[in-house]
């Protein structure tokens, strides 16, 4: 894993819609991931499913992947959409066949999982035309919200790591506090 893992006791913070949509909107996430209704998609570090719920109506299956069972419990209490399957595992060891996932996305979590093992696993499970959309707190951000600046990555550093693991960077954008990155399998 990367830096410290989000505390499941603070799960209610992930459901504060006003604060969440300030940093990434559902519309923006759907644009970045561009899921097809027949796609199998993975949400990397899904937490309480706040953004899983945004993608769920637009894909065939969304695997909600989180290393903390307690996060899936919070999501289940809220109600799982029919298309969502929770999977309790680290991104470093995904229980999927090679090339079996059409798209993956991650919101505010890249800094927690960005190890070589995790990025290698992601590349392994994505199809040859797989798409990856990441929104996370920027290392160049203001630091007014989110994790400490020294626990974050810049979009350049994240892009470099993804290139090293077989991705091409299609789009990057840095905002005052966050970055958005779209990568595709080479």
Ligand X SMILES: C[S@@+](CC[C@H](N)C(=O)[O-])C[C@H]1O[C@@H](n2cnc3c(N)ncnc32)[C@H](O)[C@@H]1O
Binding site for ligand X (CB under 6 A): 1, 5-6, 14, 45-47, 50-51, 65-68, 71, 90-91, 107-109, 112-113, 118
Spatial strand order of the sheet with 40-44 comes to: 84-88, 61-66, 40-44, 101-107, 126-137, 178-185, 167-174
Measured from the CB of residue 85, what is the shortest distance to ligand X in angstroms? 15
Give me the least distance between CB of 70 and ligand X, in Å please.
Answer: 8
Residue closer to ligand X by CB (options 62, 91) is 91
Min separation Cβ 91 and ligand X, Å: 4
Closest separation in Å from C-beta 34 to ligand X = 19
The radius of gyration computed from the CA coordinates of the chain, to the nearest angstrom, equals 15
Tally the residues of the chain.
186
- Phi, psi for residue 87 in degrees, rounded to 5: -130, 120
Select 76 or 129, whichever has its Cβ closest to ligand X.
76
CB nearer to ligand X: pick between 91 and 168: 91
**How many helical (H) and strand (E) elements, i.e. helices and strands, does the chain have?**
7, 7
In angstroms, the first-to-last Cα distance of the chain is: 24
Check if the beta carbon of residue 137 is closer than 8 Å to that of residue 169: no
The residue among 118 and 155 lying less far from ligand X, judged by its C-beta, is: 118
């Amino acid at each position: 894993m990367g830096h410290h893992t989000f505390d499941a006791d603070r799960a209610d913070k992930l459901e504060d819609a006003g604060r969440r949509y300030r940093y990434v909107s559902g519309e923006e996430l759907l644009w970045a991931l561009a899921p097809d209704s027949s796609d199998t998609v993975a949400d990397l570090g899904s937490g309480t499913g706040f953004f899983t719920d945004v993608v769920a109506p637009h894909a065939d299956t969304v695997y909600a992947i989180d290393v903390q069972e307690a996060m899936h419990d919070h999501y289940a209490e809220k109600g799982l959409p029919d298309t969502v399957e929770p999977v309790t595992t680290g991104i470093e060891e995904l229980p999927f066949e090679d090339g079996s996932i059409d798209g993956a996305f991650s919101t505010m979590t890249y800094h927690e999982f960005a190890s070589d093992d995790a990025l290698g696993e992601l590349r392994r499970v994505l199809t040859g035309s797989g798409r990856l959309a990441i929104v996370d707190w920027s290392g160049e951000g203001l630091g007014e919200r989110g994790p400490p600046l020294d626990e974050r990555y810049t979009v350049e550093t994240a892009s470099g790591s993804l290139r090293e693991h077989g991705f091409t960077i299609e789009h990057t954008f840095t905002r005052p506090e966050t970055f958005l990155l779209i990568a595709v399998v080479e």
